[in-house]
Structure 1
Amino acid sequence: MSPLNKKLIVLLLCFVGIATVLQAQGLKAPNKAPSSGMRAIDTTVLPVASVRSSDFIAAIVNLEPITNSEVNQRARELKTRMQGPESNMPQSQLLRIALDQLIDEKAQLDLARMNGVQASDEDVAQGINNVSQQSGLDEDRLKSQIQRDGLSWEAFKTQIRNQITLQKLREREVTNRIRPTDNEIQAFIRENEKKSVQQNIRLAHILVVVPETANEGQINTLKTKAENAIARVRTGEEFAKVAQEVSEATDARQGGDLGLRSSDRYPEIFANAVSQIKLGEVVGPLRSGAGWHILKLIDRQSGNDQDKLTTQTRARHILLKIKSNTNANTLRAQLSQIKQQIDRGAENFAEMAKKYSEDGSADKGGDLGWATPGMFVPEFEEVMNRLAPGQISEPLTSRFGVHLIQVMERRQVPLSAREIQERARAALRESKLETAFEDWARGVRGRAYVEYREEPQ
């Protein structure tokens, strides 16, 4: 499989959020025995033409067959996403995981049909555009690549349609029903405030061990050894070098570096000793049951400073609206030409926005001002967030038309009280989502008619 094909498969799995679903399922192999909700059904009504003669049926879900080739295709897609020990998973286990996912999806797609949940043609077009954007291929090149890799364009569009349909169903049935209460939100904020008071500190450490049986003379001798070590550091020697030579702690080979951790994870004697010193200062020797300690404060951070900040982006754009006598491909081609002119330095983004943009920001050179996360539609914001300051996007399609985006600058600002509440709400919803989705998916599958046939291979 070509690297580009692997990239396309990953994008197909990820662009509508299915990666979250796979994570929630944990990539665990299912039990071979069907659950109590799975019952054998009469399959004589299945059309013979629905399965290629060279293939065989691995399972049936609500009269819909899952073929061995479908299972192998999904297994290949999963394989491209695996890293580390997972990538060495036995093929038989990988096939079982693939079959399990396909059974879940068939059952959920059937539920979507019964409830009138479906992806529109516009949704599919936007989904294909997302894959095109992220793969760096225009639609014609994407189509050629998909077909070279053995998948028809119609089959690819069907996969996109199914994944968007599943996303819509899951949002309706699970995501939108998770509503943290005001009390839960306030409790979450209070807990985070407690954590933010807790400091994270990074220490380096030298230990001169004092045996339990040591007499007073030996203790003083070892203290002198520790004092000599701290004197070497204070006269300019590298702490790490002295630690490697003197320290008897297990971290001596790493120069005594204990890493960044919350202060409550250090011995109280350590946390208290460094609470009033400045970065880079050394303290000691300190006596504990283990011996004499010397500490250097390398770094100090508030526990959750980042939780109180948000990243704002200032961007500008050129918008061409899709009208009855134009289509998205024509507008994308027009914006591609504009981008090339700007990239060559022949034109200025702001001037081109004033000349061509059909958005209200055109008079300001397309400047959208400072924006916090969530202010723009997802398809616009996702592309904007991937751009570095000064970078210009490829043309992208949103519900408003076709855009060209340039990020001008970014900054971090304190969150408002409302933004803190919304961030807490989102964190609580996310924490509940995995369990809620697993419970829902288990229920959908339990109500479906499932019959296992031949083992996939």
Structure 2
Amino acid sequence: MMKQQLKRFFKATTIALCISAATPVFAATSDEVVAVVGDNAVLKSDLDQMTINLGQQLQAQKQPIPSDKALRQQALNTIVLQQAQLDMVKRYGIKPSDAEIDAAVLKYAQQTGANSLQEFQTRLKSANAYALVRNRIAQELAVNVLRQQMVMSRIKITDQDVNNFLNTPQGQAAIGSQAHILHMRVSGADSQQVQEIANQVKLALDKTDNIIELNKEFSQGTVKVDGADMGYRSLSDIPAELAARVTTLQNGQTSELIPAADGIHILKLLDRKTSDKKMMVTQYHTRHILVQTSEVVSPEQAKHKIGSIYKRLQAGGDFSKFAETYSNDPGSAAAGGDLGWVNLGMMVPKFEEEMQKTAVGQLSQPFQTQFGWHILQVLDTRQQDMTKEYQQRLARQFLGEQQFTPELNNWLRELRANTYVDIKDPSLK
């Protein structure tokens, strides 16, 4: 295992758009086939439902509704793109973990007023209904990952692009100021109603800073409006996806609607002021020995081997020589297991947990991650000024967000053009 394989890769940007909650589940019924997408049939019932969903979305957004024929063609195009993406998800083997799906379903359940998955299942009154919701959310997560991978691979941001941005007024604001922000969140089970009320909240927030009154005025039924005055915050203390939005605002300006898993967010910038705060990060100079399972090494044999190495190290064995001889991480084994200076967030959670609780100069107990069995040793710790690295990451976040939506649209157009579609219903041609 290379050293880089230990790293936990985070999303390059969090602005990828999830597929609509109205994703149809292609039912195994005998109703009319109106089109074929790849190897999948599109049923008239699926198309009818998607047409209704699109009409309701346009109505909620106060957009003109096209003719019935045009709306059905648009609905078919939506289904085609969704099915094409699901086919790619299957082809590339993209599958969210059960834990990720459970967490996403729980968030959705909480938006409907349920406090737990069990309560949510009880409200649905059917194991089949719960399975359909869970499957739909799993598809959304997988397609979101697919879009991230496909679109971010097309976006090229050079070091020069980052430096140029940091020299602009927007860049300077991002790295050298604190922002006084009002933060509104609109959430609820009915996505169309949430969208409509979020638009109303944004218009009201343009005219007032009284978030308490906005909370009272717009919270209704199952839709909840939460507002908070965040006070002056360094941009380094704000989630990067929100900080990138703040950098584009002028004093008194309100952001566009920001969709997220827990609702729709709206920000209003009240003021900026200069900050000299540095971002200090604890770093750990760490080395490790890794024993992996393989076709010839069973899990029990790997566990026994790491335990034997641990006993020999405790008896005074040379860590560097043992790493060179026994470690299955070729990226660090040649350096005696040395991983260099490690920041939190670079390694998988279990590795970081052991690293943080191991005293300098001491050995950790053998522990297991998805990569195998480890022993680690922390050689030293230090406080490192990572302000410049944070500023560069924020710049890449901002530039990536600027490019993501146009590049996503380009990719979707190319995907649609390259997808085999056989339209059976003449009225859809």
- Same fold, TM-score > 0.5, yes or no: no
TM-score, length of structure 1 as denominator length: 0.39
TM-score, length of structure 2 as denominator length: 0.41
Bigger Rg, which one: 1
